[in-house]
Structure 1
Amino acid sequence: MPDVTRRMLELLAQLQTGRRFAGGELAARLEVSPRTLRRDVERLHEYGYPVTTQPGPSGFYQLAAGRTLPPLVLDDDEAVATLVGLALLGSAGPPERDGHSGIAAAADRAFGKIDQFLPKRLRPRVTALRVTVEAAPQSAPAVDPEALAVLGLAAARHELVTFGYIGRTGRISRRRVEPYRQVHLHLRWYLLAWDIERADWRSFRLDRMSGIATTAAPFAPRPLPARSAAEYLREGITAPRHRAVVTVEAAAAAVSDALRFQDCEIEALTATRCRVVTRVDSFEWLILNIALTGAQFTIEQPAEFRARSRELAERLWGAGDESAR
């Protein structure tokens, strides 16, 4: 945390006690000079905090009564990022929303009122941004914000949870798990947890969970089975697929744009050359999407991929050969 931010938060913590502080006393508590203190108080005024000041030998600083929950302390870029984040989250919801439930609906509501909690100087800019930004709707299962909050608290406290779960086949089971991480991947929310009955790591979609309940039973944390929960989840989802490695004679950014809907690793080898590592259900899909970039490419792995590429090339050549008609 930057020194200025830490100092401002400490200053707010002192003022929110409601006490009157002499300038010297408050400066000493914060371990800053009187000049720095005056500058920080001016910052609070800019953010919209009603700090009463009285100069002179008997002067003091005091936060106005009834304002113990002042506006959010955000700089310009943070305010823009918050608004854009809410817009993106609000766009990802079920095809038919009732407008009253789910994390997307909550983000929509927050998007409409966020400027009320910002410093006055930022409100015009944020209001202008809000009325001119649109995020295209994306179909995603509804997830209850309360579920995210309950699971997050249980994971932080290392507390067992139970819930009903609908599997891929539609079978309903009751699960008892050690919650570790919640991951957002491909417009879905997942819980990575250790399943007590199955004695193994499992990932659960939050939209398929019901009756989530904490048990107050603690557990000793285990090391994660991968460098991150997101990495473990990705590996589990892509494990049944075919691994493909392709070198493309194009900039990594251009290839990333062409494969933006594909979960893959793109490594820049030079400014105009990159390597793509991914897992696919269909080699043909990957061949066509890379070919449409207009760049030359080399199939490194697997050999089957190279053979399928030649077969596809022959079919495409035949489709455009008028002499064969």
Structure 2
Amino acid sequence: MADTSRRMLRLLTLLQTGRAWSGAELAGQLGTSPRSLRRDVTRLRELGYPVAAPRGPGGHYRLAAGSAMPPLLLDDDETVAIAIGLQLARAGAVEGIADAAAQALRKVEQVLPQRLAAQAHGLLRAVDAAPPSWPGVDGALLTELSAAAARHERVRLRHRRRDGGERERIVEPHRVVLLGRRWYLLAWDTERDDWRTFRLDRVERARRLGQPFRPRPLPAESAVDFLRERFDAHAPEQLVVVTFHASVTTVAERLSRKDGALEPLGDDRCRYSARVDSYEWMAVVLALAGLDYTIERPAAFAVYTRALAQRMAAAAGEPA
């Protein structure tokens, strides 16, 4: 009985790889006869695993989609990854799934084998995630738009513009993209006859229309690349140059922004140059470095920094 159970677990592991196996291949992998293989397949089906095997000499075994979810076989790393992923999902970046994630996490914890329990429980106790400070996305909306993109089905959107007004559009969804801290829908706008991006936190309603469409080729390697290129094209960047009164090594260790260029000017001075689309963010980056520096250019950044320093000094009040 123990040999049979081990063989069935091995069979299930092979089927869950997603490929189709011939009977001879599976029997060879399991070291059993074709007759025993057929019995093992029958037992898996009785346990709820939808093992498909077309009739005929060319038929192959594969694990098909079923109407219910049977138990899964996961290795150690996969089990821990699922537990951590569910813990992060509870933080609420996607609205409406926190309770489901917590319930699923409890189920995973209950069935963890002893060799993983201590490791996983330690990780879960040590890892905590605060709710995001940026707008979340509704889980039902995310599901609706993702399904429309996967099935190539047009959607009617009610979208809130920056000025607060609302407008309905019919779009052909291509991808739902998480970029930075926001969720976006990349879609073909049938009215504008062009690609558009919609922030999901501004989508009031989305309804699939049951109208199929033929997917259009995207003018980029991926949806993420397309969004980045479009956002970069519309972001007015400025070159900021400052001189740090510290060595290149010290500045490199303390600077949180790594996409600029550092140039040594001696043992205790260096120049930092970076293109930015936000003076606010660059001021924070420089302040958090905790090092003395002098702004070389542009003058507008120096003006902004002085005004920011005055506001912060006023907010702190007079010393006691």
TM-score (norm 2): 0.62
Alpha-carbon separation, structure 1, partners of 2:217 and 2:303: 45
Query: Counterpart in 2 of 1:278?
Result: 276
What's the offset of the Cα at 1:291?
4.9
Q: 2:286 aligns with which of 265, 285, 290?
A: 290
Query: Counterpart in 2 of 1:184?
Result: 178
Query: Counterpart in 2 of 1:169?
Result: 163
Change (3 A) 1:205 1:307: closer
Contact 1:11–1:30 (CA under 8 A) maintained in structure 2 = no
What's the offset of the Cα at 1:91?
1.5
What's the offset of the Cα at 1:288?
5.1
Query: Counterpart in 2 of 1:66?
Result: 47
Alpha-carbon separation, structure 1, partners of 2:131 and 2:161: 27
Contact 1:87–1:111 (CA under 8 A) maintained in structure 2 = yes
Query: Counterpart in 2 of 1:308?
Result: 301
Secondary structure at 1:91 match in 2: coil
What's the offset of the Cα at 1:135?
1.2
Q: 2:144 aligns with which of 118, 140, 150?
A: 150
Alpha-carbon separation, structure 1, partners of 2:93 and 2:304: 41
CA RMSD in angstroms comes to: 4.5
Change (3 A) 1:57 1:139: closer
What's the offset of the Cα at 1:176?
0.4
Alpha-carbon separation, structure 2, partners of 1:182 and 1:131: 32
Change (3 A) 1:178 1:274: farther
Percent sequence identity is 40
What's the offset of the Cα at 1:295?
5.7
Secondary structure at 1:154 match in 2: helix
Alpha-carbon separation, structure 1, partners of 2:304 and 2:203: 45
Q: Which deviates more from structure 2 when the two are superposed, residues 115-124 or residues 167-176?
A: 115-124
Secondary structure at 2:207 match in 1: strand
Change (3 A) 1:288 1:132: closer
What's the offset of the Cα at 1:180?
0.9
Contact 1:190–1:206 (CA under 8 A) maintained in structure 2 = yes
Query: Counterpart in 2 of 1:217?
Result: 211
Contact 2:188–2:196 (CA under 8 A) maintained in structure 1 = yes
Contact 2:255–2:285 (CA under 8 A) maintained in structure 1 = no
Contact 1:266–1:276 (CA under 8 A) maintained in structure 2 = yes
Secondary structure at 2:146 match in 1: helix
Change (3 A) 1:145 1:310: closer
Superposition pairs of residues 120-135 of structure 1, within 5 angstroms: 122-123=116-117, 125-135=119-129
Secondary structure at 2:154 match in 1: strand
TM-superposition CA deviations, 1:199-252 (whole Å, max 9, x none) = 222221223324422223222322334443334434555634433466883576
Change (3 A) 1:205 1:105: farther
Query: Counterpart in 1 of 2:66?
Result: none
Change (3 A) 1:255 1:29: same
Amino acid at match of 2:276: T
Contact 1:243–1:277 (CA under 8 A) maintained in structure 2 = yes
Contact 1:71–1:119 (CA under 8 A) maintained in structure 2 = no
Q: 2:198 aligns with which of 204, 207, 210?
A: 204
What's the offset of the Cα at 1:182?
0.9
Change (3 A) 1:79 1:275: farther
TM-superposition CA deviations, 1:48-80 (whole Å, max 9, x none) = xxxxxxx99986662463353554333333333
Alpha-carbon separation, structure 2, partners of 1:240 and 1:234: 10
Query: Counterpart in 2 of 1:85?
Result: 85
Q: 1:242 aligns with which of 219, 231, 237?
A: 237
Q: 1:195 aligns with which of 189, 194, 212?
A: 189
Q: Residue 266 in 1 paired to residue 259 in 2? A: yes
TM-score (norm 1): 0.61
Alpha-carbon separation, structure 2, partners of 1:312 and 1:209: 36
